[in-house]
Amino acid sequence: MTRGFFLIKSMGNHQSIILSLGGSLIVPKDIDTQFLSEFNAFIRTQIAKNRRFFIICGGGYTTRHYQQAAVAVVGDGLPNEDKDWLGIHSTRLNAHLIRTIFRDIANPMIIEHYDQKYDIDEYPVVVCSGWKPGWSTDYCAVMVAKNYQAKTVINMSNIDKVYEKDPRKFPDAKALDHVTWDYFSELVGDKWTPGLNTPFDPIATKEAKALGLEVIILNGKNIPNLAAAIDQQSFIGSMIAPA
Protein backbone atom coordinates (compact mmCIF):
# COMPACT_ATOMS: atom_id res chain seq x y z
CA MET A 1 0.00 0.00 0.00
CA THR A 2 1.23 3.49 -0.77
CA ARG A 3 0.01 6.86 0.28
CA GLY A 4 0.13 9.77 -2.14
CA PHE A 5 0.71 13.34 -1.04
CA PHE A 6 0.30 15.51 -4.09
CA LEU A 7 -0.88 18.91 -5.18
CA ILE A 8 -4.04 19.30 -7.23
CA LYS A 9 -4.06 22.68 -8.91
CA SER A 10 -7.16 24.80 -8.30
CA MET A 11 -8.66 26.27 -11.48
CA GLY A 12 -11.45 28.70 -10.77
CA ASN A 13 -13.58 26.99 -8.17
CA HIS A 14 -12.51 23.49 -9.22
CA GLN A 15 -9.78 21.12 -8.12
CA SER A 16 -8.28 19.82 -11.34
CA ILE A 17 -7.24 16.18 -11.58
CA ILE A 18 -5.41 14.70 -14.56
CA LEU A 19 -6.33 11.14 -15.46
CA SER A 20 -4.42 9.30 -18.16
CA LEU A 21 -7.08 6.74 -19.08
CA GLY A 22 -5.36 3.74 -20.62
CA GLY A 23 -6.83 2.48 -23.84
CA SER A 24 -6.59 -1.03 -22.39
CA LEU A 25 -9.41 -0.03 -20.02
CA ILE A 26 -11.60 1.52 -22.72
CA VAL A 27 -11.03 -1.14 -25.38
CA PRO A 28 -9.23 -4.21 -23.97
CA LYS A 29 -10.58 -6.00 -27.07
CA ASP A 30 -14.22 -5.08 -27.26
CA ILE A 31 -15.37 -1.79 -25.73
CA ASP A 32 -15.73 -2.37 -21.98
CA THR A 33 -19.14 -0.84 -21.38
CA GLN A 34 -19.31 -2.16 -17.81
CA PHE A 35 -16.13 -0.33 -16.85
CA LEU A 36 -17.20 2.80 -18.71
CA SER A 37 -20.54 2.78 -16.85
CA GLU A 38 -18.71 2.55 -13.52
CA PHE A 39 -16.26 5.25 -14.58
CA ASN A 40 -19.11 7.51 -15.70
CA ALA A 41 -20.86 7.18 -12.33
CA PHE A 42 -17.59 7.72 -10.44
CA ILE A 43 -16.61 10.90 -12.28
CA ARG A 44 -20.06 12.38 -11.68
CA THR A 45 -19.84 11.72 -7.94
CA GLN A 46 -16.41 13.37 -7.91
CA ILE A 47 -17.67 16.41 -9.80
CA ALA A 48 -20.25 16.82 -7.06
CA LYS A 49 -17.23 17.40 -4.79
CA ASN A 50 -16.25 20.36 -6.97
CA ARG A 51 -13.52 18.59 -8.92
CA ARG A 52 -12.60 19.00 -12.56
CA PHE A 53 -11.13 16.16 -14.61
CA PHE A 54 -8.81 16.22 -17.59
CA ILE A 55 -9.18 12.75 -19.15
CA ILE A 56 -6.49 11.80 -21.67
CA CYS A 57 -7.58 8.75 -23.65
CA GLY A 58 -5.30 5.99 -24.93
CA GLY A 59 -5.87 3.86 -28.02
CA GLY A 60 -6.10 0.35 -26.59
CA TYR A 61 -6.87 -2.66 -28.76
CA THR A 62 -8.07 -0.42 -31.60
CA THR A 63 -4.52 0.86 -32.03
CA ARG A 64 -2.98 -2.61 -32.10
CA HIS A 65 -5.72 -3.94 -34.37
CA TYR A 66 -5.11 -1.26 -37.02
CA GLN A 67 -1.33 -1.36 -36.71
CA GLN A 68 -1.30 -5.14 -37.12
CA ALA A 69 -3.62 -4.92 -40.13
CA ALA A 70 -1.38 -2.35 -41.80
CA VAL A 71 1.73 -4.45 -41.22
CA ALA A 72 -0.07 -7.55 -42.53
CA VAL A 73 -0.77 -5.76 -45.82
CA VAL A 74 2.30 -3.55 -46.23
CA GLY A 75 4.89 -5.61 -44.41
CA ASP A 76 7.43 -4.91 -41.69
CA GLY A 77 8.77 -1.92 -43.59
CA LEU A 78 5.79 0.20 -42.55
CA PRO A 79 7.26 3.42 -41.06
CA ASN A 80 6.83 4.00 -37.35
CA GLU A 81 5.27 7.37 -38.14
CA ASP A 82 2.39 5.67 -39.93
CA LYS A 83 1.94 3.25 -37.04
CA ASP A 84 1.84 6.20 -34.65
CA TRP A 85 -0.77 8.01 -36.74
CA LEU A 86 -2.99 4.93 -36.61
CA GLY A 87 -2.60 5.00 -32.84
CA ILE A 88 -3.31 8.73 -32.63
CA HIS A 89 -6.55 8.39 -34.57
CA SER A 90 -7.52 5.47 -32.35
CA THR A 91 -7.09 7.69 -29.29
CA ARG A 92 -9.25 10.33 -30.96
CA LEU A 93 -12.01 7.81 -31.58
CA ASN A 94 -11.84 6.72 -27.95
CA ALA A 95 -11.81 10.35 -26.83
CA HIS A 96 -14.98 11.00 -28.81
CA LEU A 97 -16.59 8.04 -27.07
CA ILE A 98 -15.62 9.41 -23.63
CA ARG A 99 -16.76 12.93 -24.53
CA THR A 100 -20.08 11.50 -25.73
CA ILE A 101 -20.55 9.74 -22.40
CA PHE A 102 -19.98 13.03 -20.60
CA ARG A 103 -21.56 15.23 -23.28
CA ASP A 104 -23.79 17.10 -20.80
CA ILE A 105 -20.83 18.18 -18.63
CA ALA A 106 -17.78 17.98 -20.93
CA ASN A 107 -16.05 20.72 -22.88
CA PRO A 108 -17.42 20.30 -26.44
CA MET A 109 -13.93 20.43 -27.99
CA ILE A 110 -11.50 17.56 -27.48
CA ILE A 111 -7.95 18.70 -26.79
CA GLU A 112 -5.81 17.29 -29.62
CA HIS A 113 -2.87 19.73 -29.65
CA TYR A 114 -0.57 20.54 -26.76
CA ASP A 115 1.40 23.48 -28.11
CA GLN A 116 -1.53 25.77 -27.27
CA LYS A 117 -4.04 26.36 -24.50
CA TYR A 118 -7.73 25.80 -25.08
CA ASP A 119 -10.66 27.79 -23.75
CA ILE A 120 -12.03 25.16 -21.39
CA ASP A 121 -14.31 27.59 -19.56
CA GLU A 122 -15.79 26.02 -16.41
CA TYR A 123 -16.64 22.60 -17.82
CA PRO A 124 -15.94 19.95 -15.15
CA VAL A 125 -14.75 17.37 -17.71
CA VAL A 126 -12.15 18.06 -20.40
CA VAL A 127 -11.39 15.15 -22.74
CA CYS A 128 -8.04 14.86 -24.52
CA SER A 129 -6.55 12.57 -27.17
CA GLY A 130 -3.24 11.79 -28.85
CA TRP A 131 -1.27 14.54 -30.55
CA LYS A 132 1.45 13.59 -33.04
CA PRO A 133 4.00 10.81 -33.69
CA GLY A 134 6.90 10.15 -31.36
CA TRP A 135 5.25 9.27 -28.07
CA SER A 136 2.15 7.85 -26.42
CA THR A 137 -0.69 9.67 -24.68
CA ASP A 138 1.41 9.47 -21.50
CA TYR A 139 3.31 12.43 -22.95
CA CYS A 140 0.05 14.22 -23.70
CA ALA A 141 -0.95 13.82 -20.05
CA VAL A 142 2.35 15.37 -19.00
CA MET A 143 1.75 18.28 -21.38
CA VAL A 144 -1.70 18.84 -19.86
CA ALA A 145 -0.03 19.01 -16.44
CA LYS A 146 2.42 21.55 -17.83
CA ASN A 147 -0.16 23.67 -19.64
CA TYR A 148 -2.67 23.76 -16.82
CA GLN A 149 -0.23 23.96 -13.89
CA ALA A 150 -0.88 20.63 -12.21
CA LYS A 151 1.73 18.67 -10.28
CA THR A 152 0.34 15.14 -10.50
CA VAL A 153 -0.83 12.74 -13.19
CA ILE A 154 -2.79 9.60 -12.30
CA ASN A 155 -2.08 6.90 -14.86
CA MET A 156 -5.03 4.50 -15.02
CA SER A 157 -3.48 1.33 -16.37
CA ASN A 158 -4.25 -2.39 -16.34
CA ILE A 159 -1.44 -3.13 -13.87
CA ASP A 160 -1.43 -2.72 -10.10
CA LYS A 161 2.10 -1.37 -9.71
CA VAL A 162 5.42 -0.71 -11.39
CA TYR A 163 7.88 -3.62 -11.19
CA GLU A 164 11.66 -3.65 -11.29
CA LYS A 165 11.42 -5.98 -14.31
CA ASP A 166 8.66 -7.56 -16.38
CA PRO A 167 6.71 -9.83 -13.98
CA ARG A 168 5.34 -11.80 -16.95
CA LYS A 169 8.86 -12.96 -17.73
CA PHE A 170 10.37 -12.88 -14.24
CA PRO A 171 8.15 -14.34 -11.47
CA ASP A 172 10.55 -12.97 -8.85
CA ALA A 173 10.09 -9.35 -10.02
CA LYS A 174 9.54 -6.98 -7.12
CA ALA A 175 6.74 -4.43 -7.07
CA LEU A 176 7.81 -0.86 -6.37
CA ASP A 177 5.67 1.44 -4.23
CA HIS A 178 7.84 4.52 -4.70
CA VAL A 179 10.23 5.14 -7.58
CA THR A 180 12.47 8.10 -8.37
CA TRP A 181 12.54 9.46 -11.91
CA ASP A 182 16.24 8.64 -12.15
CA TYR A 183 15.61 4.98 -11.42
CA PHE A 184 12.46 4.80 -13.54
CA SER A 185 14.34 6.32 -16.49
CA GLU A 186 16.77 3.41 -16.28
CA LEU A 187 13.88 0.94 -16.33
CA VAL A 188 12.12 2.31 -19.44
CA GLY A 189 15.06 3.63 -21.45
CA ASP A 190 14.98 6.70 -23.66
CA LYS A 191 13.52 5.54 -27.00
CA TRP A 192 9.92 5.32 -28.17
CA THR A 193 8.58 2.81 -30.66
CA PRO A 194 4.89 2.36 -31.55
CA GLY A 195 3.26 -0.23 -29.31
CA LEU A 196 6.01 -0.04 -26.69
CA ASN A 197 4.72 -1.70 -23.53
CA THR A 198 6.02 0.23 -20.52
CA PRO A 199 4.18 1.60 -17.48
CA PHE A 200 4.96 5.15 -18.67
CA ASP A 201 6.57 5.91 -22.00
CA PRO A 202 10.23 7.06 -22.20
CA ILE A 203 9.49 10.46 -23.79
CA ALA A 204 6.83 11.22 -21.20
CA THR A 205 9.25 10.08 -18.52
CA LYS A 206 11.91 12.53 -19.66
CA GLU A 207 9.48 15.46 -19.69
CA ALA A 208 7.83 14.54 -16.38
CA LYS A 209 11.25 14.29 -14.77
CA ALA A 210 12.23 17.73 -16.13
CA LEU A 211 8.99 19.24 -14.80
CA GLY A 212 9.34 17.58 -11.41
CA LEU A 213 5.92 15.95 -11.66
CA GLU A 214 4.51 13.12 -9.62
CA VAL A 215 2.93 10.24 -11.52
CA ILE A 216 0.75 7.66 -9.84
CA ILE A 217 0.36 4.35 -11.67
CA LEU A 218 -2.49 2.10 -10.58
CA ASN A 219 -5.05 -0.34 -11.88
CA GLY A 220 -7.80 1.91 -13.20
CA LYS A 221 -10.46 -0.80 -13.09
CA ASN A 222 -10.33 -0.64 -9.31
CA ILE A 223 -12.52 2.43 -8.89
CA PRO A 224 -12.50 2.50 -5.06
CA ASN A 225 -8.70 2.41 -5.17
CA LEU A 226 -8.68 5.30 -7.65
CA ALA A 227 -10.93 7.24 -5.30
CA ALA A 228 -8.50 6.61 -2.44
CA ALA A 229 -5.59 7.96 -4.49
CA ILE A 230 -7.53 11.09 -5.40
CA ASP A 231 -8.51 11.61 -1.77
CA GLN A 232 -4.86 11.19 -0.72
CA GLN A 233 -5.67 8.03 1.25
CA SER A 234 -3.77 4.74 1.23
CA PHE A 235 -4.00 3.07 -2.16
CA ILE A 236 -2.48 0.19 -4.13
CA GLY A 237 -0.14 1.53 -6.79
CA SER A 238 3.22 3.11 -7.48
CA MET A 239 4.32 6.73 -7.14
CA ILE A 240 7.05 8.06 -9.43
CA ALA A 241 8.47 11.28 -8.06
CA PRO A 242 11.62 13.41 -8.13
CA ALA A 243 12.85 11.87 -4.88
- Rounded to two decimals, the pTM is 0.92
Cβ burial, residue 28 (10 Å; 0-12/13-18/19+): middle
With a CB cutoff of 8 Å and minimum separation 6, the contacts of 136 are: 58, 87, 130, 192, 196, 201, 203, 204
Kindly indicate the confidence band of residue 14, based on its pLDDT and cuts at 50, 70 and 90: low
pLDDT of residue 1: 43
Question: 173 near 163, Cβ under 8 Å?
Answer: yes
pLDDT tens-digit profile of 81-138? 999 999 999 999 999 999 999 999 999 999 999 998 888 888 999 999 999 999 999 9
The DSSP-derived string for 219-235 is: ETT-HHHHHHHHTT-EE
Backbone angles phi and psi of 55, in degrees to 5? -115, 110
Gap between the terminal Cα atoms of the chain? 18
Q: What's the pLDDT score for residue 4?
A: 38
Q: Is a pLDDT exceeding 90 seen at residue 197?
A: no
16-53: per-residue pLDDT in tens? 999 999 999 999 999 999 999 999 999 999 999 999 99
pLDDT in tens, 65-88: 999 999 999 998 999 999 999 999
- Residue range 140-169, pLDDT digits in tens: 999 999 999 899 999 999 999 999 988 888
Domains of the chain: 2-241 (3.40.1160.10)
